[in-house]
C-alpha cells in the first residue's frame, strides 16, 4: 500500500531523514519506534506532504506522493493524528470532526455516528469546545478527526503520549478496533512494548535511518531493542 | 586724409556722447519685491497674489510706468514658511535693491519678515495677512491692505446682531494663531453688543471629527455659529450639523469664501456668510476693466487675492509717484499718507499703525451647483 | 434641547461612530487571528476602498450603488493581490518583518492616493440622503442609522459565516493551527487570501459608509484606523464580538467625554480607559489568546 524508497528530507538546510525505506502493506499495523529526535515525526510529515522529500519516492498504491499537495494526499486516502493531539481548541468537538471531513463531498452524518460509537464520550461533549476535554479525550478526538477523512491508511503519532496507563490501554484497544475495520495503520510510539504488541511489523529508527526492521515478535525478542526500548516496560512483564 | 580722420573722430565723439546722454537720461527701473508661497499647500493663494501684482505692474507700465520708470517685479517663493520668508525678504532688499516689498500671505510669515524690512527701512506691504498682531508691533514699515481680523469681526458681528437680529451665538474655532486671534476679536465685539457667546469650543486643526463640539453648540440652541477656521473643517462642520438636523447661521471671517467649501459641503454650505474684501461684481469702470483683463489672460474670474495684490501694487506705485524718488524712506512716508485710494474692493486709507481703514463686504453662499455668492452687505 | 435629548444625541452619534470603528476593527481581528500580527495597513485598506468608490463614481458610467458595491469587491481583490505580492512571502519570517511590511504597504497606499487624488479632502456623493429623524429635541441622522444598520448586518453575517459555513469554520481552524489545518486538506493559501479579501472589504465598507460625512482623504486610514485599533485591542484582539463591543465603547466614550468632560480630552479619555482595561485584563475584554499562551 505505502512504500517509502530511499527518502531524504529535512527542514531547510537541516537534513533529518537520510535514506528511509519503509513499507506498510494492505490492512497491516506497522509501528515505527526510535529515540527522541530520530526523525519519526518527520517521516510521517513527509508522507503527508507537510515536509517535501529532497530525494526518494513515496509510493501510495501506485501514486507518487512526493510532489503532491497535502490535500491531494488526504484525498488519496491517508490521514494523520498529529503528535500532541493538536485539536482545534476553540472549535467544538463536532466542528473538529467536520474539519476532519473537510475534503469530502458526500454526507458525513453516518461517519460521525461511527466515531461516536468508537468514542461515546465525544458524543456527550459534541457541543463543547475541544480545549475543555481531558488529554485522553482530546487524543480520541484527534483520532476521530483523522478517521473522518475515511482513510485507507491512518498515521498515528504518539497517541499514548502523556496519558494515564488506563487511558493508554484504552487507546491501544481502539487502535486495534480501527485496524479490524480494514484500515492500515502506521503507528509511531515511545511506548515500544505496547506498540510492538498491537503491531504486526515494526521499524526502529536511529538518527534519520532505519536501523532495524522485522516482525513484531522478532523485534520484541531482539536484545538491542529490549535494551534500548523495552527496558523498564520489559521488566514489568 | 587728416580731415577724414577728424571726421571719424568727431563722429565717434558724437556717437559716444549720444550714447552717454541716452544712458543718463533714460528712465530707471522701479524694483518691487514680491514674496508669496508659490509652491506647497498655500500655492493657490500665492499664485493669485502674484498674478494680481503682475497685472498691476503691467497696467502701470502700459501707461508709461511710474514717472517714466518701468516697474520690475522680482518674485520669491516662501512656501508659507516663515524662515524662508525672512531669507527672501533679505535677498530682495539687500541683493536685488527692491524699494518696496509686497508679501507675504500667512500672518506668521509676515510677522517674521516685518523686522527685516524695518531694519532695512524698506516698506513691506502685506496684501492678505489678517492677524491683528501685525499692526500692533509699532513697526513703522508695515502696511496692510486686507482688513484685520478685528475689523472683519466687527463688521460680521454688527451685521449678525443688527441686520440678522441674532442674539444666541456660539463660537467654534481652530486652536491655531488665526483661529485664536479671530475668536478673541469676535468675543470682544459681541461684548460691545452686550452679548456673551453661549458656547466657545476649540478644535485641533488636524481633528477629523467635530461632532462633540457641535453637539455642545446644538445643546445651547445657538442661532448663530461663528466658525473661525479654514474652509475644509468648515465643510465638515456644515455636514455634521446637517446630520444633526440643526442649522444655525454659519459665519466666517474671510476664510470661508472658497469654492472648495461649496464643493466639499454641497448643499450643507447654503446660506453660510463670510466677510470679504472683494467680489468680482464689475460695479465700477476700473473693476470692469480689471475683470476683463484678468479673464482674457487666465480664463477665470479674479478672486480677492488677485484684487488685494493688485491694490497693494497700485498703492505702492502711487506712493513712489508722490515721493518722486526711489528712496525707500521717502516712499514709506508717502505710503503712510495714503488716503481714500480707490481700490478694487473699496477706498483704502492707512492709519498711523499701517493698518487699513476700509469697508468690509459680507457675502453669502446662495448656490452650490455651480457655486454662487451674493454680496449681502453693504446693501 | 434638554439634558436627556442631549444624552440621546450623544449616545446615538457615539454608537454610529463606534459601528464604523467596529467594522474596521473586525479587519484587524481577522488578520490577527490568521497570522498573529497587527495589520497596520488596515486603515489604509479602508482609505483605498473609499477612493476606489470615488473613482468608480466619477467615471459616471456605473449607477451609484453598483459603484459602491463594486468598490467593496475591488477592495477585496486588492486585499488578495497585496497578500500574494507583499505578505505571503513573509508568512514564515519573523512576525516583526511581517509587521513592518504592513506598515510599508500602508505608506505606499497613502502616497499613491496622494499622488492620484491630492492631499486635500474630496467630496463623496451623499448617497444616503440627509434626512433627520427627530427624537424629542435630538436629531438622529438617517445616514447614521444606515451606518449602524449596515454594520450590524455585516457583523451578524460574519458571525454566521464563521459559525455555520464550511469555509468559515475552515478559516477558524487555520487561525488556530495552520499546519494541522493543512492536514485536514484545507488550502491554507486560499484561506489566507480569503481572510485578506474579507478584512479589506470590511475596511472598504467602513470607508464608503462614512465618507459622505467625513469626506475622502489620503490620511483617513490613520485617523479612523487608530480608533479602530484601540477598539480592537480593547475587545481582545482575537474576538469578533470583542471588536464590536470595543468599537461601540470607544465611539461612545469619545463622544460622551467630548461633550460632558471636554473636547480637548476626548481622545485622552478613550486611551486612558483602554490602558486601564489592559492593566486590569491584559487580554482585553474578550481576548483568549493570552490565557492560552499562559496555559
Ligand atoms: N520544524 C523543524 N525545523 C527544524 N528542525 C526540526 C523541525 N522539526 C524537527 N526538527 C528536527 O528534526 C529532528 C527530528 O525531529 P522529529 O520530530 O522528526 O523527531 P521524533 O523522532 O519525532 O522525536 P520525538 O520522539 O521527540 O517526537 C530533530 O533533531 C528535530 O530537532
Ligand atoms: Mg515525534
Which residues does chain B have within 8 Å of residue C253's beta carbon, measured at their own beta carbons?
A: none
Partner-chain contact B232 C120, CB within 8 Å: yes
B354 located within any domain? no
List chain C residues with pLDDT less than 50: 290-295
Partner-chain contact B245 C134, CB within 8 Å: yes
Confidence of residue A234 (pLDDT cuts 50, 70, 90): very low
> Can you give the pLDDT at residue B8?
56
A6 located within any domain? yes
Are B267 and B317 found together in one domain?
no
B349 located within any domain? no
Q: What is the mean pLDDT of residues B84-100?
A: 96
From B177, B229, B227, B179, select the one nearest B199 (Cα to Cα): B227
Partner-chain contact B245 C263, CB within 8 Å: no
CA B190 to chain C, closest CA, distance in angstroms equals: 23
Q: Does B244 touch chain C (CB under 8 A)?
A: yes
> Can you give the pLDDT at residue B3?
54
Are B242 and B139 found together in one domain?
no
From B220, B50, B91, B190, select the one nearest C2 (Cα to Cα): B220
Cell of B283: 460695479
Are B198 and B230 found together in one domain?
yes
Check if the beta carbon of residue A153 is closer than 8 Å to that of residue A24.
yes
Percentage of chain B beyond pLDDT 70 is 93
From A103, A106, A97, select the one nearest A71 (Cα to Cα): A103
Q: Does A76 touch chain C (CB under 8 A)?
A: no
Cell of A2: 505505502
Residue B370 CA, chain-centre distance (Å), reads 25
> Can you give the pLDDT at residue B354?
96
Identify the residue whose cell numbers are 482575537: C238
**pLDDT tens track for B95-120:** 999 999 999 998 889 999 999 999 99
Are B253 and B373 found together in one domain?
yes
SS3 A189: strand
Check if the beta carbon of residue A22 is closer than 8 Å to that of residue A210.
yes
A131 located within any domain? no
Quote the number of domains for chain B.
Answer: 2
> Can you give the pLDDT at residue A235?
43
Q: What is the mean pLDDT of residues A85-106?
A: 96
CA C206 to chain B, closest CA, distance in angstroms equals: 15
Are B246 and B161 found together in one domain?
yes
pLDDT at residue B68 is higher than 50: yes
Number of Cβ within a 10 Å radius of residue B69: 19
Q: What is the mean pLDDT of residues B23-30?
A: 62
From C202, C196, C175, C229, select the one nearest C86 (Cα to Cα): C196
CA distance linking residue C11 with residue B369, whole number of Å: 35
Partner-chain contact B202 C263, CB within 8 Å: yes
SS3 C69: helix
- Closest residue by Cα to atom 2, ligand 1, is A11
From A199, A185, A89, select the one nearest A137 (Cα to Cα): A89
SS3 B222: coil
CA distance linking residue B174 with residue C168, whole number of Å: 47
List of domains in chain C:
3-280 (1.10.3470)
Query: What mean pLDDT is reported for chain A?
Result: 93
Are B247 and B368 found together in one domain?
yes
- Tell me the DSSP string of A20-68: EEEEE-TT-EEEEEE-TTSSHHHHHHHHHTSS-EEEEEEEETTEE-TTS
Identify the residue whose cell numbers are 510521517: A44
pLDDT at residue A233 is higher than 60: no
Identify the residue whose cell numbers are 565717434: B12
Distances (CA, A) of B235 to A48, A71, A123, A197: 61, 56, 62, 82
A111 located within any domain? no
Q: What is the mean pLDDT of residues B22-27?
A: 46
Residues in chain C: 295
CA A16 to centroid of ligand 1, rounded, Å: 8
CA distance linking residue A80 with residue A51, whole number of Å: 14
Partner-chain contact C186 A71, CB within 8 Å: yes
CA B151 to centroid of ligand 1, rounded, Å: 82
Check if the beta carbon of residue C226 is closer than 8 Å to that of residue C17.
no
Number of H helices, E strands in chain B: 12, 15
CA C36 to chain A, closest CA, distance in angstroms equals: 16
A38 located within any domain? yes
From B101, B95, B104, B134, select the one nearest B117 (Cα to Cα): B101
Are B189 and B235 found together in one domain?
yes
CA distance linking residue C207 with residue B315, whole number of Å: 51
Partner-chain contact A88 C170, CB within 8 Å: no
Check if the beta carbon of residue B153 is closer than 8 Å to that of residue B189.
yes
- Closest residue by Cα to atom 24, ligand 1, is A36
Check if the interface score ipTM surpasses 0.95: no
A220 located within any domain? yes
Partner-chain contact C132 B260, CB within 8 Å: no
Check if the beta carbon of residue B221 is closer than 8 Å to that of residue B167.
no
> Can you give the pLDDT at residue B76?
97
End-to-end CA distance of chain B: 85
Are B136 and B161 found together in one domain?
no
Could you say which DSSP state residue B23 is in?
H
Are B301 and B173 found together in one domain?
no
Q: Do chains A and B touch (3 or more CB pairs under 8 A)?
A: no
Q: What is the mean pLDDT of residues A17-28?
A: 95
**pLDDT tens track for C242-259:** 999 999 999 999 999 999
CA distance linking residue B138 with residue B145, whole number of Å: 17
B79 located within any domain? yes
**pLDDT tens track for C112-168:** 999 999 878 899 988 887 788 888 888 888 888 999 999 999 999 999 999 999 999
Task: Name the closest ligand to CA A42.
Answer: 1
Distances (CA, A) of C271 to B80, C149, C220, C259: 34, 27, 19, 16
B263 located within any domain? yes
B272 located within any domain? yes
Residues in chain A: 237
CATH no. for residue B157?
Answer: 3.40.50.2300
Query: Which of C50, C120, C123, C265 should one mutate to test binding to chain B, selecting the residue with the greatest count of B CBs within 10 A?
Result: C123
Quote the number of domains for chain A.
Answer: 1
B126 located within any domain? yes
Confidence of residue B4 (pLDDT cuts 50, 70, 90): low
For residue A84 and ligand 1, the question of a CB distance below 6 A is answered with: no
Q: Which domain holds residue B213?
A: 150-276+362-377
CA A167 to chain C, closest CA, distance in angstroms equals: 23
Q: Which of C173, C185, C292 sits opposite A88 (nearest CB)?
A: C173
pLDDT at residue B341 is higher than 50: yes
> Can you give the pLDDT at residue A236?
41
CATH no. for residue A194?
Answer: 3.40.50.300
pTM metric for this prediction: 0.83
**pLDDT tens track for A159-206:** 999 999 999 999 999 999 999 999 999 999 988 999 999 999 999 999
Are B117 and B173 found together in one domain?
no
Cell of C253: 466614550
> Can you give the pLDDT at residue B288?
94
CA distance linking residue C132 with residue B11, whole number of Å: 92
For residue A40 and ligand 1, the question of a CB distance below 6 A is answered with: yes
A103 located within any domain? no
Q: What angle do CA C52, C54, C56 make, to 5 degrees?
A: 70
A139 located within any domain? no
Number of Cβ within a 10 Å radius of residue B378: 11
Are B266 and B213 found together in one domain?
yes
In chain A, whose CA is at the least distance from the CA of C162?
Answer: A91
Q: Which domain holds residue A193?
A: 2-88+150-230
A116 located within any domain? no
Candidate of A15, A31, A40, A207 to mutate for ligand 1, largest count of ligand atoms within 8 Å of Cβ: A40
Are B203 and B261 found together in one domain?
yes
> Can you give the pLDDT at residue A117?
95
Amino acid at each position: 500500500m505505502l512504500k517509502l524508497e530511499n527518502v531524504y528530507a529535512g527542514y531547510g538546510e537541516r537534513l533529518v531523514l537520510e535514506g528511509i525505506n519503509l513499507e506498510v502493506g494492505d490492512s497491516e499495523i506497522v509501528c515505527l519506534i526510535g529515540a527522541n529526535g530520530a526523525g519519526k515525526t518527520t517521516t510521517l510529515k513527509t508522507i503527508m506532504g507537510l515536509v517535501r522529500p529532497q530525494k526518494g519516492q513515496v509510493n501510495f498504491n501506485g501514486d507518487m506522493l512526493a510532489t503532491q499537495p497535502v490535500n491531494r494526499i488526504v484525498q488519496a486516502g491517508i490521514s494523520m493524528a498529529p503528535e500532541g493531539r493538536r485539536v482545534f481548541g476553540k472549535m467544538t468537538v463536532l466542528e473538529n470532526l467536520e474539519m476532519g471531513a473537510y475534503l469530502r463531498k458526500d454526507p458525513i452524518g453516518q461517519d460521525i455516528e461511527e466515531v461516536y460509537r468508537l468514542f461515546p464520550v465525544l458524543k456527550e461533549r459534541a457541543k463543547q469546545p475541544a480545549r475543555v476535554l481531558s488529554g485522553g479525550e482530546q487524543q480520541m478526538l484527534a483520532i476521530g478527526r483523522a478517521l473522518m477523512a475515511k482513510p485507507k491508511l491512518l498515521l498515528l503519532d504518539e497517541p499514548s503520549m502523556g496519558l494515564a496507563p488506563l487511558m493508554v490501554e484504552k487507546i491501544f484497544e481502539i487502535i486495534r478496533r480501527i485496524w479490524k475495520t480494514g484500515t492500515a495503520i502506521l503507528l509511531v510510539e515511545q511506548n515500544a512494548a505496547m506498540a510492538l504488541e498491537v503491531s504486526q511489523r515494526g521499524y526502529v529508527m536511529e538518527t534519520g535511518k532505519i536501523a532495524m526492521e522485522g516482525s513484531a515478535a522478532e523485534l520484541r525478542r531482539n536484545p538491542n531493542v529490549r535494551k534500548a526500548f523495552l527496558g523498564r516496560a520489559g521488566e514489568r512483564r | 586724409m587728416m580731415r577724414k580722420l577728424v571726421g571719424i573722430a568727431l563722429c565717434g565723439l558724437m556717437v559716444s556722447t549720444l550714447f552717454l546722454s541716452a544712458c543718463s537720461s533714460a528712465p530707471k527701473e522701479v524694483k518691487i519685491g514680491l514674496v508669496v508661497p508659490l509652491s506647497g499647500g498655500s500655492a493657490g493663494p500665492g499664485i493669485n497674489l502674484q498674478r494680481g501684482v503682475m497685472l498691476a505692474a503691467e497696467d502701470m507700465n502700459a501707461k508709461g510706468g511710474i514717472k517714466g520708470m518701468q516697474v520690475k517685479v522680482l518674485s520669491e517663493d516662501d512656501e508659507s514658511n516663515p524662515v524662508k520668508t525672512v531669507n527672501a525678504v533679505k535677498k530682495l532688499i539687500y541683493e536685488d535693491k527692491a524699494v518696496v516689498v509686497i508679501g507675504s500671505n500667512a500672518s506668521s510669515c509676515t510677522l517674521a519678515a516685518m523686522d527685516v524690512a524695518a531694519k532695512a527701512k524698506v516698506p513691506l506691504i502685506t496684501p492678505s495677512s489678517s492677524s491683528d498682531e501685525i499692526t500692533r508691533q509699532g513697526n513703522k514699515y508695515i502696511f496692510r491692505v486686507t482688513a484685520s481680523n478685528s475689523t472683519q469681526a466687527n463688521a460680521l458681528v454688527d451685521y449678525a446682531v443688527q441686520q440678522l437680529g441674532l442674539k444666541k451665538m456660539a463660537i467654534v474655532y481652530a486652536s491655531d494663531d488665526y483661529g485664536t486671534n479671530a475668536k478673541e476679536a469676535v468675543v470682544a465685539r459681541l461684548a460691545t453688543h452686550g452679548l456673551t457667546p453661549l458656547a466657545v469650543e476649540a478644535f485641533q486643526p488636524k481633528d477629523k471629527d467635530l461632532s462633540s463640539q457641535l453637539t455642545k453648540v446644538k445643546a445651547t440652541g445657538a442661532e448663530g455659529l461663528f466658525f473661525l477656521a479654514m474652509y475644509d473643517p468648515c465643510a465638515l462642520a456644515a455636514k455634521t450639523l446637517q446630520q444633526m438636523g440643526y442649522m444655525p447661521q454659519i459665519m466666517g471671517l474671510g476664510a470661508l469664501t472658497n469654492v472648495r467649501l461649496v464643493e466639499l459641503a454641497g448643499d450643507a454650505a447654503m446660506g453660510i456668510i463670510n466677510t470679504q474684501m472683494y467680489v468680482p461684481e464689475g460695479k465700477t469702470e476700473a473693476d470692469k476693466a480689471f475683470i476683463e483683463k484678468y479673464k482674457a489672460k487666465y480664463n477665470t474670474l479674479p478672486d480677492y487675492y488677485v484684487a488685494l495684490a493688485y491694490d497693494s501694487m497700485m498703492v505702492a506705485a502711487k506712493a513712489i509717484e508722490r515721493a518722486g524718488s526711489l528712496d525707500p524712506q521717502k516712499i514709506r512716508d508717502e505710503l503712510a499718507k495714503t488716503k481714500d485710494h480707490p481700490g478694487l474692493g473699496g477706498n483704502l486709507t492707512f492709519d498711523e499703525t499701517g493698518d487699513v481703514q476700509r469697508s468690509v463686504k459680507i457675502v453669502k453662499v446662495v448656490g452650490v451647483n455651480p457655486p454662487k455668492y451674493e454680496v449681502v452687505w453693504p446693501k | 434641547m434638554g439634558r436627556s435629548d442631549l444624552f440621546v444625541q450623544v449616545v446615538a452619534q457615539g454608537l454610529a461612530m463606534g459601528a464604523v470603528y467596529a467594522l474596521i476593527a473586525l479587519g484587524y481581528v481577522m488578520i490577527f487571528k490568521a497570522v498573529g500580527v497587527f495589520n497596520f495597513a488596515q486603515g489604509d485598506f479602508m482609505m483605498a476602498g473609499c477612493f476606489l468608490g470615488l473613482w468608480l463614481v466619477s467615471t459616471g458610467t456605473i449607477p451609484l450603488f453598483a459603484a459602491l458595491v463594486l468598490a467593496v469587491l475591488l477592495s477585496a481583490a486588492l486585499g488578495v493581490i497585496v497578500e500574494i505580492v507583499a505578505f505571503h512571502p513573509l508568512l514564515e519570517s519573523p512576525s516583526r518583518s511581517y509587521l513592518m511590511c504592513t506598515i510599508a504597504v500602508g505608506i505606499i497606499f497613502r502616497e499613491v492616493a496622494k499622488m492620484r487624488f491630492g492631499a486635500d479632502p474630496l467630496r463623496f456623493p451623499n448617497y444616503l440622503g440627509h434626512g433627520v429623524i427627530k427624537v424629542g429635541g435630538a436629531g438622529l441622522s438617517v445616514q447614521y442609522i444606515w451606518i449602524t444598520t449596515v454594520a450590524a448586518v455585516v457583523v451578524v453575517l460574519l458571525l454566521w459565516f464563521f459559525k455555520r459555513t464550511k469555509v468559515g469554520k475552515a478559516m477558524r481552524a487555520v487561525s488556530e493551527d495552520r499546519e494541522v489545518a493543512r492536514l485536514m486538506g484545507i488550502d491554507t493559501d486560499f484561506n489566507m487570501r480569503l481572510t485578506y479579501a474579507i478584512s479589506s472589504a470590511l475596511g472598504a465598507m467602513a470607508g464608503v459608509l462614512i465618507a459622505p460625512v467625513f469626506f475622502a482623504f489620503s490620511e483617513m486610514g490613520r485617523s479612523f484606523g487608530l480608533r479602530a485599533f484601540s477598539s480592537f485591542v480593547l475587545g481582545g484582539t482575537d474576538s469578533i464580538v470583542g471588536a464590536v463591543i470595543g468599537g461601540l465603547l470607544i465611539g461612545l466614550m469619545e463622544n460622551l467625554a467630548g461633550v460632558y468632560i471636554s473636547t480637548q480630552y476626548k481622545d485622552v479619555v478613550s486611551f486612558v480607559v483602554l490602558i486601564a482595561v489592559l492593566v486590569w485584563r491584559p487580554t482585553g475584554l474578550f481576548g483568549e489568546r493570552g490565557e492560552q499562551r499562559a496555559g
